[in-house]
Chains A and B, each alone.
Chain A
Amino acid sequence: MLTIAVCIKQVPDTHMVKIDPVRGTLERDRIPNIMNPDDMHAVEMALFLKGRYGGTVTAITMGPPQAAEILEESYAMGVDSAVLVSDSRFAGSDSYVTGKILSRAIAGLGSFNIVITGVEAVDGSTASVGYHLSEFLRMPLITQIHKIDIEEKHAVIERLYGHEYQKIRVDLPLILSVNKNTNVVRFPALADIRTCFEKPIRRMTMEDIGGSEKEYGLSGSPTVVIQSESFVHARERETMNGNIQEKIEDLLVRLKKHNIIRY
Chain B
Amino acid sequence: MDLSLTKTQKMVQKHIRKFSREVLAEWSLYLDREAKPLPGDIVTAMGNLNIWGIQAPRHFGGADLDTVSYAIVIEEISRVSASIGLGVTVHNSVCLAPLLKFGTEDQKERLAYDLSAGRKIGGFTVTEPNAGSDAGGVQTTASDDGDAYILNGQKAFVTNGGVGDVFLVAAVFDAARKSRGIGIFIVEKGMRGFSVGKIEDMMGMRGNMVSELILDNVRVPKTNVLGRPEDGFKISMQTLDMGRIGIAAQALGIGMAAYEAAALYATERKQFNKPIGTFQGVSFKLAEMKTKLEAARLLVYKAACNKDNGLPYTTEAAMCKYYAPGAALDVCQEALQIFGGYGYVKELPVERYYRDVKITQIYEGTSEVMKIIIGNAILKEFSKL
Contact = CB atoms under 8 A, between A and B. Distances in A.
Contacts of B8: 193-194, 197
Interface in A23-73: 72-73
Contacts of A188: 11, 15, 49
B7 A190 contact: no
B48 interface: yes
Candidate in A76, A189, A196, A197 with the most chain B CB atoms within 10 angstroms: A189
Interface string B46-67: 0011110010001000111100
A130 B8 CA distance: 32
A191 interface: yes
A188 B48 CA distance: 9
Nearest to B64: A194
Candidate in A72, A76, A188, A191 with the most chain B CB atoms within 10 angstroms: A191
A187 interface: yes
A73 B12 CA distance: 11
A201 to B, nearest CB: 13
Contacts of A190: 12, 16, 49-51, 54, 63, 65, 69, 73
A41 to B, nearest CB: 15
B48 A193 contact: no
Contacts of A76: 11, 15
Contacts of B63: 189-191, 193-194
B116 to A, nearest CB: 10
A196 B50 contact: no
Contact of B49 (A72, A187, A196): A187
B192 interface: no
B64 A193 contact: no
Given A193-B8, A193-B12, A196-B11, A187 B19 contact: yes
Contacts of B23: 187
B7 A191 contact: no
Contact of A191 (B11, B62, B73): B62
Interface in A165-203: 187-191, 193-194, 196-197
A187 B73 contact: no
Q: What band does the interface of chain A fall in when counting residues whose beta carbon is under 8 Å from B? A: 10 to 19
A189 B50 contact: yes
B234 interface: no
Nearest to B47: A189
B58 A193 contact: no
B64 A73 contact: no
B18 interface: yes
A197 B64 contact: no
A76 B11 CA distance: 9
Nearest to A69: B7
Interface string B4-38: 00011001100110110001000000000000000
A87 B62 CA distance: 39
Contacts of B12: 190, 193
Nearest to B13: A193
A189 B49 contact: yes
Given A187-B49, A191-B63, A197 B7 contact: yes
Nearest to B22: A187
A189 B58 contact: no
B275 to A, nearest CB: 21
Candidate in A72, A188, A189, A193 with the most chain B CB atoms within 10 angstroms: A193
A197 B7 CA distance: 8
A35 to B, nearest CB: 11
A193 B8 CA distance: 7
Given A194-B63, A194-B64, A189 B11 contact: no
Given A194-B63, A194-B64, A194-B65, A189 B7 contact: no
Contacts of A73: 11
A174 to B, nearest CB: 30
A194 B50 CA distance: 11
A193 B15 contact: yes
A187 B21 CA distance: 12
A204 to B, nearest CB: 23
B59 to A, nearest CB: 11
Interface in B251-300: none
B117 to A, nearest CB: 11
19 contacts: A72-B7, A72-B11, A187-B15, A187-B18, A187-B23, A187-B49, A188-B11, A189-B48, A189-B50, A190-B16, A191-B64, A193-B8, A193-B11, A193-B15, A193-B63, A194-B8, A194-B63, A194-B64, A197-B7
Interface of A: 72-73, 76, 187-191, 193-194, 196-197
Given A193-B12, A194-B65, 14 more contacts: A187-B18, A187-B19, A187-B23, A189-B48, A189-B49, A189-B63, A190-B12, A190-B49, A190-B50, A190-B54, A191-B50, A193-B11, A194-B63, A196-B11
- A-B residue pairs, 6 tightest by C-beta: A190-B63, A190-B50, A191-B63, A187-B19, A189-B49, A191-B50
